[in-house]
A and B are shown apart, each in its own frame.
Chain A
Amino acid sequence: MEDEEVTSDFHAIGEKHTRATEHAELLVIGAGEAGLAAALEAARAGVQVTLVDENPLGPGLIGMDVPLLFGNRWTAAVQNQGRMLEQILATNPGLEEAFELGVEVKLGTYAWGAFVAGPNLQSLPEPVVGLADETRSWLCGFKRLIIAAGARDLVYSFAGFETPGVVGAQGFASLVSRYGAFNGRRIVVLGTGDLAVRTAALALDAGLEVAAMVEVRDAAQSDVSLMVSRGVEIITGHAILEARGNAEGVTAAVLAPVAGGEPRGIDCDTIVLAIGAVPVIDLADVAGAKLTRCDGSYVVESAPAGVFFAGDCAGLGADAAASGRAAAQAALRSLGHEVTAAPAPAPVPPLPADTDAYRMDWMRALMATGGLDVHACTCEEVTRRDLLTVQPPRYLDAPVAGRDLTSLGDGAPPSQDQIKRLTRACMGPCQARRCREQVAMMMAIGTDRPLGAIALAGYRAPVRPLPLGVLAASDETAEMAEGWNVWFGIRTQWIPYADIGTERETERAGRMMHF
């Protein structure tokens, strides 16, 4: 190496990153109650706002239970994007106000990543959110970002889980209220807490039958008297044993007494999991937010500079609109706007203090009644037993004897990310939306630890499973194309060992470009 020679690394990231093709002063992800309130608040203050929402979802994602457990219980209406769009506009009058205030509203648009400079990521030209529709992806730069991604379904599996008609409470509400495309008539609700009661009420108000609400504990977990008066049977001390059905879907929910005894079947076409909900923190995690465990879920503790959170993804049960306005005001203040009389958001009403214990009670009851041969991860066909005994995936046909969850950790809690790698649980195309929480619960049970001891498995971009052809960069920089190398592009790295220190070395080095 010559003493005076200083070179640059042609193959390093440098200024190669794709640039944003759109920019927003304030970008809001999620046009639910919180996101809409945030967008309106900021637009009224004169800020240029872009409001993005993935609804109406493409039928591909709906069929994959992304982002909610739709459970194959939708009508053909979801195939008609135009009708779906009309439906969404009709049921969200706030969107019209947003249009009138000049908000750029992008419906049917997925946010698949949020990238903000931070430790070990200093190469970004600017903070961006990756967006996509059904045909292409692009980057939207922002000065401020509000993530109002809402909540998704807390899913437990059981025998027959994949039968059409096993639906999550959020997916159910979306099909009934947002899309008007629910394809069932008679439901059984799992759970008796507030979410379950809201779900049952929604169903009854929509003209559906609610055959029963089911509770593993010995008493209902909230006031169900109104449901009882509307004819809903409350069945306590029972777990779901099986979704019985045929090719068309669920025909009955088979319930088993937790204390043991004969199962009973209840005729229905849909089983709605309404035991709990999960804040959607995938985009926040990818953006580098610090996450913390709170009331049975991981929520955002602190965010990178310029990123704010609102609604359910910041903590379940808050007043969504107030939370959205508060996030907008914080963003406005940081942009130098004067914000007068910022009302403090209503304090988040805590979930029941024993949320973790309640969720674990369901898990234990399902394991006790349904056994260990039920899939813990449906996409990858990993059973509860496979998980607890850390079995390699079945396609290897190489069972490993004598291992279990406790043999991995030196006394430390096992890592869910490590379990993913070994068993493939949570590695499937639904991106673990149907198994992440129940796998963590089974890991806690298998190692006799509190649920909170199981660290969060990391979320990865793209946080929606989008096709290669959609994600493929259409507008990459010339520097990217020219400087692309399969690995580091270090010429000396690939010279055959025998040639090192010989005359051939220099000649070889000249040919080692663009391996």
Chain B
Amino acid sequence: MSAMEKKSASVIVIGGGVTGLSAAWWLARDGVDVLVIEKGIVGWEASGRNGGGCTHYQSPLFDEEQRLWPQMDELLGYPTEYRRERVIMALTDAQLAQYQDHGDICARMGYHYETLDAKQTRELVPLAGDNVVGAVHYHFGGQANPQRSVQAYAWALQDKGGRILQHTAVSSIVTKGGRVTGVETSLGRFDCDHLVLAAGPQTGALLDTIGIYLPVAPARAEMIVTEPLPLMRIGGVDGNGLYGRQTLRGNLAYGGGPHEWLEDTGPDGRTAAGGIAARPASQLLQNLSKRLVELFPRAAHVRVIRSWAGIIENTPDGRPVIDRLDEPGNLTVATMSSVGFGLSPAAGHAIRDLVMEGRCSFTDIDKLGLDRFANLPRDWRARQGWVPPVLSDFATPARLPA
């Protein structure tokens, strides 16, 4: 791609994560002149570093998620590695009851699942061991490859005439007369008729540049990946407090466990002190390994070859904001609150509808509006305990002097 000569677009999407890319792809399919501006590389942050799950019963976008995923390879024209079905294995009766509870929620919405006993589970999941109590087997849902899917969106939207500008940071939103007129970037001003803001952890800081408050808190989470194993019939097997999947290559890729809340960052992803948004891993990989070997006792010999850390944002109630604002009326805001990848085909559709028609055409998303946080105290992070750890909490003599 050559550098962008045209510094305007009908719709600018800030954020080349999976939500922004999907929205831009949906818009490009309608022939809209759309430009995605990304501070780094497409799908580089949490969009490319997640479990790849496509089973989100809690969302109003659930039906659309289930409808779209089986078609995505064909619609995009590039592989996503989507595979249907999911098995959630329980090692305790309490886990099994919990997983069945979620299965029942799905069943009431018309999705079929069944409960497997220990023997049936071991027959379906060759890596399962004697410690398995049972499992729920979803005949819906599934999982895809996040890294491949984000690039599929990017290529597909370019094929439809959309543009992507990487390595370009947006510093502020520009408004005039109550409308968004463009964005200021590291490459100067870009004009637009409508702005979609889907900038992940930076969404709040960017909105703050026009005095609108969106509460989000960034956090770091970690995953581990093993060397490849022979493919199980269903790759989407998790449970025991882990999320993840066996990839089509055969690797086990799993995450879960405690997150670390991080400082708020500016529009460029830097902290107030100017620190870089590093994604350091930690010894948590030992705890992930412990639970994975409990989940798959027959994989104890399998080697861990990588770990990842990713930074994701959450709203105070953990639910998305997908909202076209009243003022500026040509601004659509989307944060998926840490659950964005699987819902991305549907979220992009909803955003496209908001931009083009002012409302979501296929489901009610009114409860995902930004106005639900209108009376939220600004110190909500402290009140919820969503704050970075304080180093001095640990009175360990071995801690280094400053």
Could you list which residues of chain A lie within 8 angstroms of chain B, going by C-beta atoms? Answer: 1, 3, 5-9, 11-18, 20, 23, 113, 115, 117-128, 130, 137, 139, 141-143, 286, 288, 305-306, 380, 392-393, 395-396, 398, 400, 403, 407, 409-412, 415, 417-418, 421-422, 424, 427-429, 431, 460-462, 465-469, 471-474, 476, 480, 483-488, 490, 492-497, 500-501, 511, 514-515
Q: Is the CB of B282 within 8 A of A115?
A: yes
Q: Is the CB of A121 within 8 A of B278?
A: yes
Q: Is the CB of B399 within 8 A of A126?
A: yes
Which residues of chain B have C-beta atoms less than 8 A from A461's C-beta?
281, 285, 307
**B256: interface (CB < 8 Å):** yes
B242, B284, B308: the one within 8 Å of A460 (CB)? B308
Q: Tell me which of B19-27, B171-179, B206-214, B390-398 binds A.
A: B390-398
* Shortest Cβ gap from A307 to chain B (Å): 9
* Shortest Cβ gap from B292 to chain A (Å): 6
A5-B383 contact in complex given A125-B394, A468-B226, A468-B299, C-beta closer than 8 Å: yes
Q: List 29 A-B contacts (CB under 8 A).
A: A1-B377, A6-B382, A7-B385, A11-B258, A12-B219, A12-B258, A12-B386, A113-B281, A119-B275, A125-B396, A141-B398, A143-B398, A288-B280, A393-B249, A395-B248, A396-B81, A411-B1, A418-B44, A422-B147, A468-B292, A468-B301, A468-B303, A469-B301, A471-B285, A471-B304, A473-B290, A488-B259, A493-B319, A494-B58
Bound together, the chains give a CA A185 to CA B27 distance in angstroms of 66
Residue of A nearest to B240 (CB): A486
Residue of A nearest to B368 (CB): A497
Q: Tell me which of B189-197, B310-318, B352-360 binds A.
A: B310-318
Q: Is the CB of B57 within 8 A of A396?
A: no
Q: B91-111: which have CB < 8 Å to A?
A: 94-95, 98, 101-102, 105
A123, A130, A142, A409: the one within 8 Å of B166 (CB)? A409
Which residues of chain B have C-beta atoms less than 8 A from A403's C-beta?
155
B60, B303, B385, B394: the one within 8 Å of A429 (CB)? B303
Q: Is the CB of B385 within 8 A of A6?
A: yes
Which residues of chain A have C-beta atoms less than 8 A from B62's C-beta?
497
Most buried by B among A305, A403, A411: A411
A398-B79 contact in complex given A9-B386, A120-B220, C-beta closer than 8 Å: yes
Q: Is the CB of A118 within 8 A of B286?
A: no
* Shortest Cβ gap from B384 to chain A (Å): 6
Bound together, the chains give a CA A504 to CA B41 distance in angstroms of 42
Q: Is the CB of A392 within 8 A of B256?
A: no
Q: Is the CB of A472 within 8 A of B290?
A: yes
Which residues of chain A have C-beta atoms less than 8 A from B257's C-beta?
480, 484-485
**B302: interface (CB < 8 Å):** yes
**B10: interface (CB < 8 Å):** no
* Shortest Cβ gap from B16 to chain A (Å): 11
Q: Is the CB of B303 within 8 A of A514?
A: no
| Additional pairs, 9, CB under 8 Å, beyond known A11-B259, A467-B304 | A9-B385, A120-B311, A125-B396, A395-B249, A410-B166, A461-B285, A468-B302, A493-B338, A514-B98
Bound together, the chains give a CA A3 to CA B337 distance in angstroms of 24
A421-B151 contact in complex given A8-B385, A13-B258, A13-B260, C-beta closer than 8 Å: yes
Bound together, the chains give a CA A421 to CA B277 distance in angstroms of 21
Q: Is the CB of B79 within 8 A of A392?
A: yes
**B138: interface (CB < 8 Å):** no
Q: Is the CB of B259 within 8 A of A13?
A: yes
Interface residues of A, dominant DSSP = loop
Most buried by B among A5, A130, A487: A487
Which residues of chain A have C-beta atoms less than 8 A from B374's C-beta?
none
Q: Is the CB of B278 within 8 A of A128?
A: no
Which residues of chain A have C-beta atoms less than 8 A from B305's C-beta?
428-429, 431, 462, 465
A14, A122, A139, A407: the one within 8 Å of B258 (CB)? A14
Q: Is the CB of A121 within 8 A of B391?
A: no
Bound together, the chains give a CA A10 to CA B382 distance in angstroms of 14
5 closest A-B pairs by CB: A493-B318, A490-B318, A469-B300, A421-B147, A473-B286
Q: Is the CB of B259 within 8 A of A484?
A: no
Bound together, the chains give a CA A160 to CA B341 distance in angstroms of 41
**B271: interface (CB < 8 Å):** yes
Q: Is the CB of B283 within 8 A of A468?
A: no
* Shortest Cβ gap from B359 to chain A (Å): 16
**B126: interface (CB < 8 Å):** no
**B241: interface (CB < 8 Å):** yes
* Shortest Cβ gap from B372 to chain A (Å): 10
Q: Is the CB of A17 within 8 A of B148?
A: no
A121-B300 contact in complex given A126-B396, A492-B319, A497-B60, C-beta closer than 8 Å: no
Q: Is the CB of B78 within 8 A of A472?
A: no
Q: Is the CB of A130 within 8 A of B283?
A: yes
Residue of B nearest to A143 (CB): B398
* Shortest Cβ gap from A368 to chain B (Å): 28
Q: Is the CB of B262 within 8 A of A120?
A: yes
Residue of A nearest to B151 (CB): A422
Which residues of chain A have C-beta atoms less than 8 A from B221's C-beta?
487
When each residue 27-39 of chain B gets 1 if its CB lies under 8 Å from chain A and 0 otherwise, what string results? 0000000000000
**B186: interface (CB < 8 Å):** no
Q: Is the CB of B277 within 8 A of A493?
A: no
A7-B304 contact in complex given A393-B249, A488-B259, A511-B101, C-beta closer than 8 Å: no
Which residues of chain B have C-beta atoms less than 8 A from A462's C-beta?
285, 304-305, 307
Q: Is the CB of B241 within 8 A of A128?
A: no
B4, B278, B339: the one within 8 Å of A119 (CB)? B278
* Shortest Cβ gap from B353 to chain A (Å): 17
Q: Is the CB of B280 within 8 A of A493?
A: no
When each residue 369-383 of chain B gets 1 if its CB lies under 8 Å from chain A and 0 otherwise, what string results? 000000011001011
B105, B256, B290: the one within 8 Å of A486 (CB)? B256
Q: Is the CB of A410 within 8 A of B164?
A: yes
Which residues of chain A have C-beta atoms less than 8 A from B290's C-beta?
472-474, 476
A492-B386 contact in complex given A409-B1, A411-B3, C-beta closer than 8 Å: no
**B202: interface (CB < 8 Å):** no
Q: Is the CB of A23 within 8 A of B398?
A: yes
* Shortest Cβ gap from A376 to chain B (Å): 17
Q: Is the CB of B385 within 8 A of A400?
A: no
* Shortest Cβ gap from B171 to chain A (Å): 18
Residue of A nearest to B78 (CB): A400
Which residues of chain A have C-beta atoms less than 8 A from B79's C-beta?
392, 396, 398
Bound together, the chains give a CA A439 to CA B205 distance in angstroms of 37
Q: Is the CB of B282 within 8 A of A123?
A: yes
Which residues of chain A have C-beta atoms less than 8 A from B227's C-beta?
428-429, 465
Q: Is the CB of A485 within 8 A of B256?
A: yes
